Chains A and B, each alone.
Chain A
Amino acid sequence: MLRFLLGRLAILIPTFLGVSLIAFSFIRMLPGDPVMLMSGERVMSEERHAAIMHDLGLDRPMPVQYLNYLTDVLSGDLGTSIVTKRPVLGEFLSLFPATLELSLCAIILAVVLGVPAGVFAAVKRGTWFDQSIMGVALVGYSMPIFWWGLLLIIFFSGYLQWTPVSGRISLMYFFPPVTGFMLIDSLLSGQPGAFRSAFSYLILPTIVLGTIPLAVIARQTRSAMLEVLGEDYVRTARSKGLSPLRVVGVHALRNALIPVITTIGLQVGVLLAGAILTETIFSWPGIGKWMVDAVFKRDYAVVQGGLLLIAGVIMLVNLAVDITYGFINPRIRH
């Protein structure tokens, strides 16, 4: 197990180098520079522009900038935001809980609805139930996030006025962040109605962000389940006189979950990518929106550092998935 973990951790090093290089070069390929964007409408003299660029170290050759950046990262310094002048890591840590909360809710929604939907579709294969579930899943999978989000806002927030349009909680409530998770913080604050408010703000973004993973998980569960239901050991389980619920829910599902867990792990990448759009649509103050703003302002340090940290999160999740895999599949453990 230790060997396995160390091997996995060793792969992280080249991956990190690759991600840092890509993040570093891509943001610099965009036209314009942060200083010009900071000056905005005001006219800035050539000398002043050059002086600020020099202060920021942006006038040096690219490879030198990259090496400097790498040295800083290795010593644990992800740099400071060119725009806000605050450390990238600090900003990331203060915003990440919002994204994590949204992503967790989305993946929980996707798993809680997707796995049973896939199981039922497989058990009732070929029926109208199966076909409608799979039809809906296909539509969900093909749904462009920004359009889907706008549709929901127009209908539920605009027309029905059931849910708020954007933000994390009503402006009526204010309390200092303890965990960074609004659902938990609102409960801890003890303010009446705060949790309800936080929850209502979370509903639409969760649905929008969870739609694609939900569709993917439902389809994957169905196909894995169909394969497993034809296995000899499922027949053995039935020959013992076990109830259909136990045959499907214990004997078949345990085996079908193996590929589904992989899918769930892969969806984390999709989630973080989707979070960028979802957070922008709903003005959700998380790292997705933070990154988009940083790209628009050419905030090099934030884009580089943010990408690196997001990549790190994805790699950690994949590592966790690999470890879970060992627990659920005894053939890997031994």
Chain B
Amino acid sequence: MALLEIQNLTVEFQTASGLFRAVDNVSLTCDRGEILSIVGESGSGKSVSMLALMGLLPWTAKITADRLAFDGKDLIGLSPRQRRNIIGKDMAMIFQEPMSSLNPCFTVGFQLGETLRIHMGMNRAQRRERSIELLKLVGIPAPEERLSNFPHQMSGGMSQRVMIAMALACNPKLLIADEPTTALDVTIQAQILDLLVRLQKENGMALVLITHDMGVVAETAHRVQVQYAGQKVEEQPVGQLFADPHHPYTAALLAALPERAVAGEKLPSIAGVVPGQHDRPTGCLFAPRCAFVQPDCHQGARRQGRELGEALCNYPLVKGVPLDHPAFAVKEGA
């Protein structure tokens, strides 16, 4: 049984101009010890779905799901108190902006120790010992001194290491990392990713890595879920996804990687932007930007089977060629 199992999660926000659907019937599973990467542009609902799982969305968010199971327990029926016993302990999360994610008024030691006291009931001496151990684990030099530091005395990379230490405090079964390297320098990015992968292996925990960086995905993930405008459009193991993307959006994302560009030619990009609240198309949401769009795409998009990466597309690509596509079918026949 999967550690994390989400079925048809929908998140809607009440805004001044009506309901905005940030996450649209997204299903997701993550096994123990697996690294699942959720990829998509800004506004694809990848962070929101994980924040919904953690229960961190503001009250204006309306969350519905057929199933929101973690470690065999359905989170939907739980009281807020029961849910708080899980988050921060068995399920932890780190965020995009490490500098602003730590409370500026409290020391590192206080913020680390707080989790240990609440979930593990450790006394002062135990907390101190475990905090030092955790800071060592995430590669912070002189951890004893760091404990009395305030966040403004640390760099971004250091702050993110502290955030990771805090998340790992109670040996979680699942760690959700929401673009953990986006706000950091390139050299630090690699260090933090290596750290996350190493800790994931050592602790055998599951890792959900939210990112928009396909390079990060290629280096770290086992399995990839691609999201677009709040919908899951494709899901495949990482190697297969890079070798044979089935959804035109995935293919376009991969084609836009600088590493894949042909020297001397213009870098390919996807024209247009992710639709927002007011320009949401009917039918397939990617249709306005799709190179293979057909009239019936504006009516709706079919979910393909497992063998085609569960692509949400009427004409899924196989080896770069859209299946059953009229334009291509004519060529084959001729």
Contacts and interface: CB of A to CB of B under 8 A. Distances in A.
Nearest to B92: A239
Interface string B87-100: 11100110101001
A328 B56 contact: no
Given A240-B88, A240-B166, A232 B152 contact: no
B103 A233 contact: yes
Nearest to A253: B105
29 contacts: A231-B100, A233-B100, A233-B101, A235-B95, A235-B101, A236-B163, A237-B103, A238-B55, A239-B92, A240-B88, A240-B114, A241-B85, A241-B86, A241-B88, A241-B89, A241-B118, A242-B118, A243-B84, A244-B80, A251-B106, A254-B103, A254-B106, A255-B105, A330-B104, A330-B150, A330-B152, A331-B104, A334-B150, A334-B153
Given A237-B103, A241-B119, A251-B103, 17 more contacts: A232-B101, A235-B56, A235-B95, A236-B95, A238-B55, A239-B87, A239-B88, A240-B88, A240-B118, A240-B166, A241-B88, A241-B89, A329-B105, A330-B104, A330-B105, A331-B104, A331-B150
Interface string A236-271: 111111111000000100110000000000000000
A330 B89 CA distance: 28
Nearest to B152: A331
B199 interface: no
A43 to B, nearest CB: 70
Contact of A240 (B100, B105, B115): B115
Chain B interface category by residue count: 20 to 34
Contacts of A241: 84-89, 115, 118-119
Interface string B117-137: 011000000000000000000
Interface string B133-155: 00000000000000000101100
A258 to B, nearest CB: 8
B102 interface: yes
B54 interface: yes
Contacts of B115: 240-241
Contacts of A243: 81, 84
A232 B98 CA distance: 9
Contacts of B97: 232
A330 B166 CA distance: 21
A149 B92 CA distance: 55
A334 B150 CA distance: 10
Nearest to B60: A126
A233 B104 contact: yes
Contacts of B54: 239
Given A242-B84, A242-B114, A243-B84, A236 B103 contact: yes
Nearest to A244: B80
A316 B220 CA distance: 59
Nearest to B89: A241
Contacts of B166: 236, 240
A334 B84 CA distance: 35
B155 to A, nearest CB: 15
A209 B101 CA distance: 41
A254 B107 CA distance: 13
Contact of A238 (B56, B102, B107, B163): B56
A239 B93 contact: yes
A255 B103 contact: yes
